[in-house]
């Protein structure tokens, strides 16, 4: 009886993940938010997905699969607490990896800005013309949005 309940829990969790992934699939339609019409708060998963321009359905489907695998492992171990904890840790892991990607992108943009400012300063020292210095640096500096 408990194995049937655990299998139904796992199936329900997998179905929930697929439903969430399909709800957030916004590849062909304008961006809609599930609960509120406002923009997502900075630091939230929705905000990070928007900034990184990542597919929501892939993220939520992957998180759902990881959570279901963690729950299944807990069920195999016959430990319901471990099942819940592993599913929770899988979701936390995915969010931390997303934040790490965001911080890497931010660091890359910071280094590009620093390089551009150094180029502007050195060109301004040699030419004395600030407009020419900015134009010269803009032509040689890569766009951070294209390389991310």
User: What percentage of the chain has pLDDT greater than the value 90?
Assistant: 7
What's the longest Cα–Cα distance across the chain?
82
Q: Are 140 and 132 in contact (CB under 8 A)?
A: no
Question: From residue 6, how far is each of 61, 65, 116, 123 by CA, in Å?
Answer: 21, 16, 57, 68
Least confident of 9-13, 57-61, 98-102: 9-13
- What's the pLDDT at 99? 93
Residue with tokens 């969790």, as numbered in its chain: 13
The residue among 122 and 9 whose pLDDT is bigger is 122
The residue among 116 and 23 whose pLDDT is bigger is 116
Q: With H, G, I as helix, E, B as strand and everything else as coil, classify residue 92.
A: helix
pLDDT digits (tens, 9 = 90+) for 28-86: 445 555 555 577 788 888 888 888 888 888 888 888 888 888 888 888 888 888 888 88
């Amino acid at each position: 009886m408990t194995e049937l309940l655990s299998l139904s829990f796992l199936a329900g969790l997998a179905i929930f993940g697929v439903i969430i992934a399909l709800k957030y699939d916004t590849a062909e339609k304008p961006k809609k938010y599930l609960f509120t019409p406002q923009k997502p708060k900075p630091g939230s998963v929705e905000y990070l997905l928007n900034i990184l321009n990542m597919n929501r359905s892939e993220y939520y489907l992957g998180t759902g699969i990881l959570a279901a695998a963690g729950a299944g492992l807990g069920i195999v171990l016959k430990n319901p607490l471990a099942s819940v904890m592993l599913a929770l840790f899988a979701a936390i892991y995915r969010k931390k990896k997303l934040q790490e990607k965001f911080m890497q992108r931010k660091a890359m943009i910071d280094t590009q800005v620093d390089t551009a400012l150094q180029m502007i300063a050195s060109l301004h020292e040699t030419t004395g013309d600030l407009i020419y210095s900015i134009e010269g640096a803009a032509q040689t500096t890569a766009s951070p949005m294209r390389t991310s």
